[in-house]
């Protein structure tokens, strides 16, 4: 084709990309601080924040520092936090009984945060893995080769009621036991906590990317390995239709919000879930997703800010209404400067 020739084109999509003001006008997906939920880790004591080696930029906070972090997040426009405790190993046992201690760490943290920042939405995890000496999300069967579904659900109901009593806004069952959403809803209502919501980990896959989180809460140490298999209760990564079934069951049982976890590796599942329900959809950009971006950026292989923002934009574009991400604070800070 001669250098001075022109194509006879009616449609030139690049017209909409010629300058930043045009690109903004036609931008289809916008990420806001209000879309983000910050997962936070809490520990006992009064010491300085404890950096988590496998999660660069993420630390465990004592309760006082946690409160300050929550205030800062709220002031930056992040509307919600999800709290996860790291317990002393001495408090753990096969039954996870510390989870039902009315003065356990996470309940004290909830009370402190709600007293100081009452406007902030506080979410708490309902699962036994931070409390068990074996690292599983529930109580094991007598044979010790699987999690006892129904016995575990009864304990989760007690946990949820204690968390609601402490003032939490949403309980978030992440255990993947059958029937736990309906049982928790009944338990909350019976105890008078009809206003406490359920954010259900509805489609939680048995991912290989959870390792850094298990370091953060100490369940890897308890289990003796971060590679602990949870295949009998978390979902097979190969299954798409099953995810929709799990979501539909949780919605029918009373879930106020459903979640897909992980997020970035399961964008197709997020879209399928979004198309299957009118219930709000959350997605969790998990520790392994976060840490691999951080690691590649530290090696100079990727641009941290651009990859961070693109990863979150993809999750929202797939259909998530809200995103749990360890990038929440720094993204909120960046958006505040725009």
Residue 204 known to be catalytic: yes
The conformation of residue 50, written as its DSSP 8-state character, comes to E
Is residue 107 within 8 Å of residue 162, measured between CB atoms? yes
Closest by CA to 171, choosing from 198, 190, 189, 195, is: 198
Spatial separation of the C-alpha atoms in residues 135 and 128, rounded to whole Å:
8
Among 86, 92, 261, 316, the one annotated catalytic: 261
| Structural contact between residues 75 and 116, judged by C-beta atoms closer than 8 angstroms | no
Q: Which residue's structure tokens are 């006892």?
A: 148
For CA atoms 284, 61, 121, 99, the dihedral sign is positive
329 is catalytic: no
Catalytically annotated residue among 92, 204, 316, 329? 204
Q: Would you call 93 helix, strand, or coil by DSSP?
A: strand
The residue among 267, 302, 327 whose CA lies nearest residue 55 is 327
**DSSP-assigned states of every residue in 165-205:** HHT-SEEEE-S--TTHHHHHHHHHHHTT-TT-EEEEEEEEB
Residues with catalytic annotation? Answer: 204, 261
């Amino acid at each position: 084709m001669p250098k001075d020739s022109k194509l006879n084109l009616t449609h030139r999509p690049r017209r909409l990309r010629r300058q930043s003001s045009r690109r903004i006008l036609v931008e289809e997906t916008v990420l806001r601080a209000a879309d983000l939920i910050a997962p936070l880790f809490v520990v006992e004591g009064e010491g300085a924040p404890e950096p988590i080696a496998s999660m660069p930029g993420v630390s465990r906070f004592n309760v006082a520092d946690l409160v300050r972090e929550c205030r800062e997040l709220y002031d930056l426009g992040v509307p919600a936090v999800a709290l996860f405790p790291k317990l002393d190993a001495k408090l753990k046992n096969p039954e996870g009984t510390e989870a039902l201690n009315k003065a356990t760490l996470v309940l004290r943290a909830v009370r402190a945060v709600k007293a100081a920042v009452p406007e902030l939405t506080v979410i708490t995890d309902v699962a036994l893995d931070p409390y068990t000496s074996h690292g599983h999300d529930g109580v094991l069967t007598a044979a010790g080769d699987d999690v006892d579904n129904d016995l575990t659900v009864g304990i989760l109901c007690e946990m949820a009621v204690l968390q609601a009593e402490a003032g939490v806004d949403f309980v978030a069952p992440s255990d993947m036991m059958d029937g736990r959403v309906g049982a928790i809803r009944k338990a909350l209502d019976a105890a008078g906590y009809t206003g406490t919501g359920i954010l259900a980990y509805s489609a939680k896959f048995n991912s290989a990317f959870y390792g850094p989180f298990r370091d953060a809460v100490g369940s890897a140490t308890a289990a003796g390995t971060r590679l602990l298999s949870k295949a009998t209760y978390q979902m097979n990564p190969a299954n798409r239709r099953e995810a929709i079934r799990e979501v539909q069951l949780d919605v029918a049982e009373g879930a106020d919000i459903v979640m897909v976890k992980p997020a970035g590796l399961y964008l197709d599942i997020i879209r399928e879930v979004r198309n299957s329900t009118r219930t709000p959809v959350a997605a969790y950009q998990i520790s392994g997703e976060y840490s691999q971006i951080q690691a590649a950026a530290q090696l100079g292989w990727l641009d941290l800010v651009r990859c961070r923002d693109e990863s979150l934009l993809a999750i929202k574009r797939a259909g998530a209404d809200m995103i749990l991400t360890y990038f929440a604070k720094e993204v909120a800070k960046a958006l505040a400067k725009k």
